[in-house]
Amino acid sequence: MASVEELTRIYKARYASLTNELDSFIPLYTDIRNFLAPRTARFKGEMLNRGERQDLNILDISPRLAVRTLAAGLQSGVTSPLRPWFRLGTPDPALQEYAPVKLWLHTVEMLMREVMNRSNIYDRLKSTYGILGTYGTGAIGIDEDDEDVIRGTDFATGSFMIATSAAGRVNTLYRDVLLTSSQMIGKFAQGDMKRAKEILPSTVINNYDNGNYEAKYPLVHIVEPNRNHRDGSALSKFKRFSSVWYDCARQGKESIYMLSGYDDIPIMAPRWDVIGEDVYGYGCGEIALGSAKALQLMEKRKLQGIDKNVNPPMVGDASLRNQRTTILPGETTYVSGLITGKQGFTPAYQVNPYLAELKEEIQRVEMMIDEAFYKNLFLMIAEVGDQPNITATQINTMREEKMLMLGPVLERLNDELLDPLIDRVFNIMLKRGMLPPPPKEIQGMPLRVEYISVLAQAQKAMGIGNIERFVGFVGNLAALQAQAGKAPTAFDKLDFDQTIDEYADGVSVPPTIVRSDDVVAEMRQAEQQQMQQAQQLQIAQQGAQAAKDLSQADTSGDNVLTRLMGGA
pTM of the model: 0.78
Each residue's pLDDT tens digit, 87-103: 999 988 878 888 889 89
pLDDT category at 154 given cuts 50, 70, 90 is very high
- Residue 57 contacts by C-beta under 8 Å, 6 or more apart in sequence? 34, 35, 296
pLDDT in tens, 183-227: 999 999 988 899 999 899 999 999 999 999 999 999 999 999 998
pLDDT at res. 69: 93
DSSP for 128-169?
A: HHHHHHHHSB--EEEEEETTTEEEEEE--BTSEEEEE-TTS-
Q: Does the pLDDT value for residue 28 go beyond 70?
A: yes
Q: Give the C-alpha distances (Å, rounded to integers) separating 220 from 139, 168, 248, 263.
A: 15, 24, 7, 21
Q: What is the 3-state secondary structure (H, E, C) of 226-284?
A: CCCCCCCCCCHHHCCEEEEEECCCCCHHHHEEEEEEECCCCEECCECCCCCCCCCCCCH
Question: CA dist 522 to 384, 399, 527, 528, 532, Å?
Answer: 48, 41, 8, 10, 15
> How many CB atoms are closer than 10 A to CB 389?
5
| CA torsion angle 58 59 61 67 (round to 10) | -20
Q: Which of 270-279, 284-293, 376-385 has the lowest mean pLDDT?
A: 376-385
pLDDT in tens, 302-336: 888 888 777 777 777 676 677 777 777 766 676 66
pLDDT at 175 (0 to 100): 95
Q: Report, as an integer, the average pLDDT of 371-394.
A: 68
Would you place residue 385 in the very low, low, confident or very high pLDDT band (cuts 50, 70, 90)?
very low
Q: Among 350, 346, 345, 268, which Cα is nearest to 309's?
A: 350
Measured between alpha carbons, how far is 78 from 80 in angstroms, rounded to an integer? 6
| Residue 192 DSSP label | -
Which stretches of 263-391 are DSSP H helices?
284-310, 355-372, 375-378, 380-384
Average pLDDT over residues 61-78: 92
